[in-house]
Amino acid sequence: MIWESGHGGYDRVSPMEQEPLPAKCPNCGDGRVARIAYGEPAPSEELTRAIEAGEIVLGGCCVFQGSPKWQCLTCNQSWGVIDWEKD
């Protein structure tokens, strides 16, 4: 595993790492942006609450290179790249 430092200086980003949500959707400009959560999170009241509140969208069980990070709840645009296996 080689840590890249030549792509703008960021380090490897874990898909579980908590980043601040983007302020708005780059497509429609709406502020209802949810984090896309990958994997199979254990059902919980907190998870249900977060989904119902539009804070999290479930992205499926597997995360791929190039999977998006964010999804707009208004236009369903997804964007961002989970960049954790760059080589």
> Which residues in this chain contact Zn ion in the complex, by CB under 5 A?
25, 27-28, 30, 72, 74-75, 77
Dihedral-angle region of residue 41 (phi above 0 means left; psi in -120 to 50 means alpha; beta otherwise):
beta
- CA 81/CA 59 separation, integer angstroms: 13
Closest CA to 68 of 40, 43, 29, 35: 35
Shortest distance (Å) from residue 29 CB to Zn ion: 7
Q: How far is the CB of 50 from Zn ion (least distance, A)?
A: 19
In the complex, minimum distance from the CB of residue 27 to Zn ion, in angstroms, rounded to a whole number: 4
Look up residue 43 and give its DSSP letter.
P
Say how far apart CA 32 and CA 23 lie, in whole Å: 8
